Amino acid sequence: MRIVFAGTPEFAVPSLRAAATRAEVVAVYTQPDRPAGRGRGLVASPVKQAATEMGIEVRQPASFRDPGAVEALRALQPDLMVVVAYGLILPQAVLDIPAEGCWNVHASLLPRWRGAAPIQRAIQAGDAETGVCLMQMERGLDTGPVLLEQRTAIAPDETGGQLHDRLAEMGAWVLADGLGLLRAGIAPVPRLQPAEGVTYAHKLDKAEARLDWARPAAELANTVRAFNPWPVAEAALAGERVRIHQAMALDVEHAAGPGTVLAAGRDGIDIACGEGALRLQLVQRDGGRPLAAADYLNGRPGLVP
């Protein structure tokens, strides 16, 4: 079975490795190298780096609007194309090339959280469960029928980064299962997505990272978890901007205005919210490194009420 794999970020690497154990990956498509770091030098995507180590040909078209890029893909004569967080829209002309169509590994339980940031949006919304879906691709955004899925609970303290890593491995397992069935001549049965329950996981924006103390503490705690490790939540703490890497919601009653420091000690810094309080446990000053609340307070003794 000849597979073309398309993916870009670290999330896609386990799926690439899984695909290579089940079939012949004849080429890997990934986005062009991007400037990164202080020197702004061009850096290859994690998928390109992995494919190069595996000795697989890498292709990096800027898009598939160019008919030449479509014909170059067609010349590979793939049986299947596997797409995992590629980042480019595939036109119908590309979806029609592989004999078995195009499969996508998506990090949510479709139709909930279609779109770019399903992992972070699930945590931010307070979802208790998520998972991964193996989906048959069509023109719509994550609208295709689901072939296989795997569910998992979201731990109450799980961060976006931690859940990302778990779902990346789960996605590889689901893909491997699907490829194993296809090789055995037992194609996974497609299940149409229901019309009810559709939500969209819009791309993360750094402007969203600014916490509003007037919001409920539980909502802010979910945002802190979801935005760790990027873009990292931030807020004003007694006149100073800090980034918040870890926090927990406290179900307490108070009459203080939002943003007031209610308590500060070794366990954390409790900030009044519109409902309840948010206990800051790991914070970072501008230009500094993340510090436990107790260490942060050593530099700001005046915070202790």
What would the two tokens of residue 154 be? 């979201």
Q: What pLDDT shows up at residue 238?
A: 87
The residues of the chain that CATH labels 3.40.50.170 are: 2-201
Q: How would DSSP label each residue in 135-191?
A: EE--SSTT-SPEEEEEEEEPPTT--HHHHHHHHHHHHHHHHHHHHHHHHTT-PPPPB
45 assigned binding-site residue:
no
CATH fold for domain 2-201: Rossmann fold (3.40.50)
- Strands 80-84 and 2-7, sheet pairing: parallel
pLDDT of 249 > 90? The answer is: yes
pLDDT of 166 > 70? The answer is: yes
Q: What pLDDT shows up at residue 41?
A: 86
Closest CA to 203 of 146, 148, 141: 141
CATH of domain 206-303: 3.10.25.10
Q: What pLDDT shows up at residue 44?
A: 96
42 assigned binding-site residue:
no
What would the two tokens of residue 74 be? 């067609």
Residue-wise pLDDT for 179-206, tens only, equals: 999 999 998 999 999 999 999 999 999 9
Categorize the per-residue pLDDT at 305 as very low, low, confident or very high, splitting at 50, 70 and 90. low
Residue pair 158/133 in contact (Cβ under 8 Å)? The answer is: no
What would the two tokens of residue 159 be? 């961060």
Residue-wise pLDDT for 255-296, tens only, equals: 999 999 999 999 999 999 999 999 999 999 999 999 999 999
Convert 152-178 to b/e letters by CB count within 10 Å (16 or more is b).
eebeeebbbbbbbebbbebbbbbbbbb
Categorize the per-residue pLDDT at 302 as very low, low, confident or very high, splitting at 50, 70 and 90. confident
Residue-wise pLDDT for 104-159, tens only, equals: 999 999 999 999 999 999 999 999 999 999 999 999 999 999 999 999 999 999 99
The residues of the chain that CATH labels 3.10.25.10 are: 206-303
